[in-house]
């Protein structure tokens, strides 16, 4: 966008508005290009009305139309035995056994949260929840993945403000609505200072035969709007906020942020699930970005029908709204339903029971057009397909970013990497780093236990929930390390998928499907577009290798402020399935005398300082090239650990990633002495009140600090009774195993022993 | 009726632990449980009432302040005054305070944040229909999750609560001491739960309904609360 001097052209008060006319300059003000305006005139057979222009500007925006990402997203694997619904619906749906399926999706609410963190985050949560119950699924779990700038220092007061209010906003919405927030991740890196990331994920449970798709059908059927009244909030949110970079007009964009009412959404969930269970609706669609416009055009386009909308029948919160405002308002907590005339009475009865408006605002037609009427006049008529499924596509000529290098850094005293004198102090420094330290401050503000399904609370490798009435469980983990993707987007994306899968494997769950949120800068820039393409390729390969198709997702571009882009951040949320949920384990040491074993390689080809928390925190650098994941080895390491958990061999398992081996071991020890922050002896969860330490000797050819703090993939630290080691070895086959030491005492005592370089047999 | 005790869970708009309370009671063999709708004016033939946790009416105005005017609350009040067992959990506790069925009021947590945390609760008295299956001094580990759990009252009322043995649960540390650090919300005298003078109405901030099944994160300590109620109802027959 070149118009950096204006705020939201749609947010001026009515009195100061000139009469709205469509024109090329109005089109450009709304974020369209001259070429797009020309194309609109061709489709419309002349100048569009202003309402039509406003509708096009939203539906063809990056946020709704995916104009830059659509050509590349086709590369992602989306098929699999368990996939009941892939991308293209409100959420992906995955078979989890016994006739149950999980509907899941993650979505960004980055731009609104940067402008108004509390409401931005809250409405992000609200929006993704609606996507889930629109499918007919009862939402059972939320996760949130957050990125902010660095927290420390006077100059970062805004980052602390954003973090505090984003967390409060997520809690405000999720706690009120009664969906447990069981996990996610948080990281703090300078490039997110201008554009925090708020990625909200929700999943719901549904029977296979009850999946609903948002397809309008049945000429003559009613179009019913259910839920909140419509106001001027969030007008242009998708085009003004989410499809542009930030600049000095940030504050002026506040009116584009919606306001959430979780109380209404809670009633909406109950009413909609009741309507769906009793087969009272043909289909449903929530109102999200671009409001009524996108819901109506998507439903019509998918059903090959038309919809007539009478904008003056929409219940309004404020008087004097114009038809285009009504059509693109992003007022929250609203659903659109297609209802057969004979069912209308029953639908209104259910909604009245929940004190919700249910208003007939239009009907299904055979015109193929989205037509809008206001005061007896037709103010818009657009082919629905053109809006929802045939928006323009852009490809940016691309090139690699300048900072990329082919070789890893030379890790030596003389090259700026002196060995710290006191490695104990280094370990404490890393444990205190915001990216590694406990996230209890955040997750204690979330209700993680409501609905009585939570098996593992936040703080473990993956959240685990049981499925009531079955032996089964599901697990979720979220990963996406932007710093590492910045150094190599292809390898970083492969690693993000591998780590998310590893995390769910660590609790004993089989990774089965992915929902992803791809957060990037301005795709009109060649290096950003190149990075995006590399990311898609990397993710695709990893998802194929690990048999975890991508069933839904979201792309968020324009995460830039004053030309500075965020780290490329592909967030991967992995769903795992446990056939027997009682077989899940967590990361903390359980028993004095257990052996501590590393499953996976301990070698310099796999472990590096490049892109590590150690490199950033201790040396103040982010440079080099991260090691590539061996996806075949990764799959075997994960399978070994899953099979060992299922066989009841292991006491604990923990992914070895941020902070390296030393931090991983420390987390196993710290986790042993408390439950959710309160020390208490509980025989049932087998958690002792006393903290359990370990004596560790790492034998390696690497410099000791690199062995302790270097990062790499395909490594899991497990503990087990000594007499189970043989069983683990036979399960492992040719997967490398290294006995590191023993669970003992209350202190962690890691030691590194130099090892003759010729020895390579780790088993 | 030959069946076991009959529980009713009131559903207000915005209740979100109603399902958990229903589920918790249904894990006890032979116990009947049903939902009661806030717009109804009769309780049917239930023998114990649960006012569940959640955000009735979005916690708008003040927690519990609107729910207390729900049509069903008159019937709940009559039931309580006639000696029926009423337990209010979290938002249900707040509603009982607003309805005047228990003394005192809730302030915002001193930390000014929602807090979801395992707490240790010391059973101060087993002489209630809600704690009869516990030993006095026993420690239960149950989750709290709320924004407004900072119980307060005037000194006279506090003295009366203490004199009458109406303080049922207190927040304590792992050693059973009622310290400030063990208090998640700043509640007066570390109060986590109180009963009325007649001992048939009980309000508590922790969520025993999330603590009834082995293998889940919440543990099973909450069972003792429901077991006490069931034992009481069976004895009364």
Q: What is the pLDDT of residues A477-530, one digit of tens each?
A: 999 999 999 999 999 999 999 999 999 999 999 999 999 999 999 999 999 999
Q: Are A384 and A491 in a shared domain?
A: no
Sign of CA dihedral A167, A172, A177, A178: positive
Reading the block at residue A313, the tokens are: 């029948």
Length of chain A: 763
Nearest to A266 among B16, B24, B118 (CB): B16
Element (H, E) at A263: helix A262-277
For A268-316, write each residue's pLDDT tens digit: 999 999 999 999 999 999 998 889 999 999 999 999 999 999 999 999 9
pLDDT of residue A237: 64
Please say whether the beta carbons of A612 and A660 come within 8 A: yes
Please say whether the beta carbons of A192 and A149 come within 8 A: yes
Q: Are A523 and A604 in a shared domain?
A: no
Q: Which of A512, A505, A531, A440 is nearest to A656 (CA)?
A: A505
The torsion region of residue A117 among left (phi > 0), alpha (psi -120 to 50) and beta comes to alpha
Q: What is the CATH number of the domain that holds A145?
A: 3.30.1330.10
| pLDDT above 50 for A679 | no
Confidence class of residue A682 from pLDDT cuts 50, 70 and 90? very low
- Residue A85 domain flag: yes
Rounded average pLDDT over A223-243: 81
d(CA A567, CA A486): 6
| pLDDT above 60 for A759 | no
Q: Are A229 and A378 in a shared domain?
A: yes
Domains of chain B by range and CATH? 6-236 (3.40.50.880)
Q: Which domain holds residue A533?
A: 79-211+452-583
d(CA A616, CA A460): 24
Instruction: Show the low-confidence residues of chain B (pLDDT under 70).
Output: 1-2
CA torsion A640→A644→A646→A652, rounded to 10°? -110
Q: Do A261 and B115 touch (CB under 8 A)?
A: no
- Residue A393 domain flag: no
Q: Are A244 and A384 in a shared domain?
A: yes
CA atoms within 13 A on the CB side of B188: 17
Mean pLDDT over all residues of chain A? 91
Residue B116, beta-bridge partner list: B145
Domain end position, chosen among A533, A548, A583? A583
For A22-56, write each residue's pLDDT tens digit: 889 999 988 899 999 999 999 999 999 999 999 99
Domain end position, chosen among A583, A602, A617? A583
pLDDT of residue A238: 62
Q: Are A250 and A195 in a shared domain?
A: no
A-interface mutation test, from B116, B118, B206, most A Cβ less than 10 A away: B116
Write out chain B residues lying below 8 Å of A456, CB-based: 217
Q: Are A194 and A224 in a shared domain?
A: no
The torsion region of residue A320 among left (phi > 0), alpha (psi -120 to 50) and beta comes to left
d(CA A176, CA B42): 27
Q: Are A641 and A735 in a shared domain?
A: yes
Write out chain B residues lying below 8 Å of A266, CB-based: 13-14, 16, 55
- Residue A189 domain flag: yes
Q: Are A191 and A225 in a shared domain?
A: no
Sign of CA dihedral B178, B180, B183, B188: positive
Q: Are A553 and A630 in a shared domain?
A: no
The answer to whether residue A109 is catalytic is yes
The alpha carbon of A508 is separated from its chain's Cα centroid by a whole number of angstroms, namely: 22
Structurally, chain A folds into a number of domains equal to: 3
Reading the block at residue A426, the tokens are: 């280094």
Place of tokens 């003078």: B197
- Residue A744 domain flag: yes
d(CA A605, CA A609): 11
Q: Do B213 and A450 touch (CB under 8 A)?
A: no
- DSSP-derived pairing of the beta strands B32-37 and A100-108: unpaired
Nearest 5°: phi and psi at A213? -115, 150
pLDDT of residue A16: 43
For A97-147, write each residue's pLDDT tens digit: 999 999 999 999 999 999 999 999 999 999 999 999 999 999 999 999 999
Q: Supply the ipTM of this predicted assembly.
A: 0.96
Nearest to A689 among B13, B116, B174 (CB): B174
Q: Kindly list the residues of chain A whose beta carbon comes within 8 Å of any beta carbon in chain B.
A: 168, 171-172, 175-178, 261-264, 266-267, 354-355, 443-457, 466, 468, 581-582, 675-680, 682, 684-685, 689
Q: Are A510 and A362 in a shared domain?
A: no
d(CA A718, CA A641): 8
| pLDDT above 90 for A197 | yes
Q: Are A603 and A748 in a shared domain?
A: yes
Write out chain A residues lying below 8 Å of B145, CB-based: 175, 447, 449-450
Q: What is the CATH number of the domain that holds A383?
A: 3.90.650.10
pLDDT of residue A254: 63
The alpha carbon of A715 is separated from its chain's Cα centroid by a whole number of angstroms, namely: 24
pLDDT of residue A239: 64
Q: Out of B47, B124, B148, B209, which one is annotated catalytic?
A: B209
Domain end position, chosen among A583, A606, A636? A583
Nearest 5°: phi and psi at A88? 120, -15
CA torsion A724→A727→A732→A736, rounded to 10°? 50
d(CA A716, CA A503): 9
- Residue A422 domain flag: yes
The three-state secondary structure class of A20 is coil
Write out chain B residues lying below 8 Å of A171, CB-based: 114
The answer to whether residue A68 is catalytic is no
Tell me the C-alpha to C-alpha distance, in Å, between residue A746 and each of A650, A678, A682, A695, B164.
21, 18, 18, 10, 45
- Residue A32 domain flag: no
The C-alpha R_g of chain A, in whole angstroms, comes to 26
pLDDT of residue A252: 67
Chain A residue closest in CA terms to B57: A263
Place of tokens 């577009």: A529
Q: Which of A607, A610, A649 is nearest to A626 (CA)?
A: A610
Confidence class of residue A684 from pLDDT cuts 50, 70 and 90? very low
Place of tokens 């399904």: A453
Q: Are A92 and A188 in a shared domain?
A: yes
Q: Do B141 and A685 touch (CB under 8 A)?
A: no
pLDDT of residue A3: 32
Q: Strand locations in A406-486, DSSP E?
A: 454-456, 463-466, 473-479
Confidence class of residue A728 from pLDDT cuts 50, 70 and 90? very high
| pLDDT above 70 for A251 | no
Rounded average pLDDT over A697-709: 92
B110 interfaces chain A, CB cutoff of 8 Å: no
d(CA B209, CA A450): 9
- Residue A446 domain flag: no
- Residue A260 domain flag: yes
């Amino acid at each position: 966008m070149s118009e950096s001097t204006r705020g939201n052209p749609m947010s001026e008060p009515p009195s100061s508005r000139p009469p709205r006319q469509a024109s090329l300059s109005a089109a450009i003000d709304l974020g369209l290009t001259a070429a797009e305006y020309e194309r609109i005139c061709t489709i419309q057979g002349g100048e569009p009305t202003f309402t039509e222009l406003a509708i096009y500007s939203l539906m063809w925006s990056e946020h709704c139309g995916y104009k830059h990402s659509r050509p590349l997203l086709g590369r992602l694997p989306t098929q699999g035995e368990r996939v009941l619904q892939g991308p293209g619906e409100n959420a992906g749906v995955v078979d989890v056994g016994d006739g149950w399926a999980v509907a899941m999706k993650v979505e960004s609410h980055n731009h609104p949260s940067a402008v108004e963190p509390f409401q931005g985050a809250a409405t992000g949560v609200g929006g993704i929840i609606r996507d889930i119950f629109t499918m007919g699924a009862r939402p059972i779990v939320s996760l949130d993945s957050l990125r902010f700038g660095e927290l420390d220092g006077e100059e970062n007061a805004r980052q602390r403000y954003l973090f505090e209010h984003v967390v409060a906003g997520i809690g405000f919405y999720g706690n009120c609505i009664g969906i447990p927030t069981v996990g996610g991740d948080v990281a703090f890196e300078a490039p997110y200072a201008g554009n925090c990331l708020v990625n909200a994920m929700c999943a719901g449970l549904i029977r296979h035969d009850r999946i609903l798709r948002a397809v309008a059908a049945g000429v003559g059927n009613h179009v019913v709007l259910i839920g909140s009244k419509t106001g001027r909030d969030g007008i242009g949110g998708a085009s003004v906020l989410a499809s542009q970079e930030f600049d000095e007009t940030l504050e002026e964009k506040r009116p584009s942020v919606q306001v959430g009412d979780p109380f209404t959404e809670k009633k909406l969930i109950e009413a909609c699930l009741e309507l769906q269970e009793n087969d009272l609706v043909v289909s449903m669609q929530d109102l999200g970005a671009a409001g009524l416009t996108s819901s109506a055009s998507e439903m019509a386009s998918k059903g090959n029908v038309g919809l007539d909308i009478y904008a003056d029948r929409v219940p309004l919160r404020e008087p004097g709204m114009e038809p285009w405002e009504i059509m693109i308002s992003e007022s929250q907590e609203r659903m659109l339903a297609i209802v057969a005339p004979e069912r209308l009475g029953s639908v209104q009865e259910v909604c009245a029971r929940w004190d919700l408006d249910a208003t007939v605002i239009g009907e299904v037609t055979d015109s193929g057009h989205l037509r809008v009427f206001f005061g007896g006049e037709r103010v818009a008529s657009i082919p629905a397909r053109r809006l929802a499924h045939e928006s323009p596509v852009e490809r940016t000529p691309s090139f690699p970013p300048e900072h990329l290098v082919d070789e890893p850094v030379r890790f030596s005293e003389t090259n700026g990497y002196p060995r710290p004198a006191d490695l104990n102090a280094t370990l404490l420094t890393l444990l205190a780093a915001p990216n590694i330290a406990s996230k209890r401050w955040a997750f204690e503000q979330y209700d993680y236990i409501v609905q009585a399904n939570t098996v593992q609370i936040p703080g473990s490798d993956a959240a685990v929930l049981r499925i009531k009435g079955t032996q089964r469980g599901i697990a979720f983990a979220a990963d996406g390390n932007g710093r590492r993707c910045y150094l190599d987007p292809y390898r970083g994306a492969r690693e993000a998928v591998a780590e998310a899968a590893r995390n769910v494997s660590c609790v004993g769950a089989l990774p089965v499907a992915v929902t992803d949120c791809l957060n990037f800068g301005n795709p009109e820039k060649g290096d950003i577009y190149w990075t995006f393409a590399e990311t898609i390729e990397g993710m695709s390969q990893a998802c194929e290798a690990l048999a975890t198709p991508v069933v839904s997702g979201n792309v968020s571009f324009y995460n830039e402020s004053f030309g500075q882009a965020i780290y490329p951040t592909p967030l991967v949320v992995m769903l795992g399935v446990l056939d027997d949920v009682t077989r899940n384990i967590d990361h903390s040491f359980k028993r004095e005398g257990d052996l501590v074993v590393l499953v996976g390689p301990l070698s310099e080809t796999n472990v590096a300082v490049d892109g590590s928390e150690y490199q950033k925190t201790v040396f103040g650098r982010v440079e080099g090239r991260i090691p590539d994941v061996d996806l075949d080895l990764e799959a075997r390491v994960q399978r070994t650990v899953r099979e060992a958990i299922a066989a009841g061999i292991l006491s604990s398992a923990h992914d070895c990633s941020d902070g390296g081996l030393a931090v991983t071991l420390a987390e196993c020890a710290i986790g042993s002495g408390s439950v959710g922050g309160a020390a208490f002896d509980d025989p049932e969860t087998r958690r002792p009140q006393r903290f359990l330490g370990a004596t560790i000797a790492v034998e390696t050819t690497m410099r000791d600090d690199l062995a302790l703090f270097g990062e790499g993939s395909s490594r899991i630290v497990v503990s087990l009774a000594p007499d189970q080691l043989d069983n683990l070895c036979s399960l492992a086959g040719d997967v490398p195993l290294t006995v590191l030491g023993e669970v003992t005492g209350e202190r962690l005592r890691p030691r590194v022993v130099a090892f003759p370089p010729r020895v390579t047999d780790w088993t | 009726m030959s069946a076991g005790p009959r529980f009713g869970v009131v559903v207000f708009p915005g209740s979100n632990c109603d399902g958990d309370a229903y589920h918790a009671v249904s894990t006890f063999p032979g116990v009947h449980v049903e939902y009661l709708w806030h717009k109804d004016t009769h309780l049917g033939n239930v023998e114990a009432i649960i006012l569940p946790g959640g955000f009735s009416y979005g916690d708008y105005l003040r927690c519990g302040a609107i729910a207390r005017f729900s049509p069903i609350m008159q019937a709940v009040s009559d039931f309580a005054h006639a000696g029926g067992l009423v337990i209010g959990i979290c938002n249900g506790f707040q509603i009982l305070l607003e309805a005047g069925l228990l003394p005192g009021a809730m302030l915002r947590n001193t930390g000014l944040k929602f807090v979801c945390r395992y707490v240790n609760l010391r059973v101060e008295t087993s002489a209630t229909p809600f704690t009869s299956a516990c030993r006095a001094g026993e420690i239960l580990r149950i989750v709290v999750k709320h924004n407004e759990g900072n119980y307060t009252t005037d000194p006279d009322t506090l003295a009366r609560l203490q004199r009458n043995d109406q303080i049922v649960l207190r927040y304590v540390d792992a050693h059973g001491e009622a310290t400030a650090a063990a208090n998640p919300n700043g509640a007066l005298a570390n109060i986590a739960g109180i009963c009325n003078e007649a001992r048939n109405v009980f309000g508590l901030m922790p969520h025993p309904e999330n603590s009834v099944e082995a293998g889940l994160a919440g543990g099973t300590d909450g069972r003792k609360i429901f077991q006490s109620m069931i034992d009481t109802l069976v004895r009364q027959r």
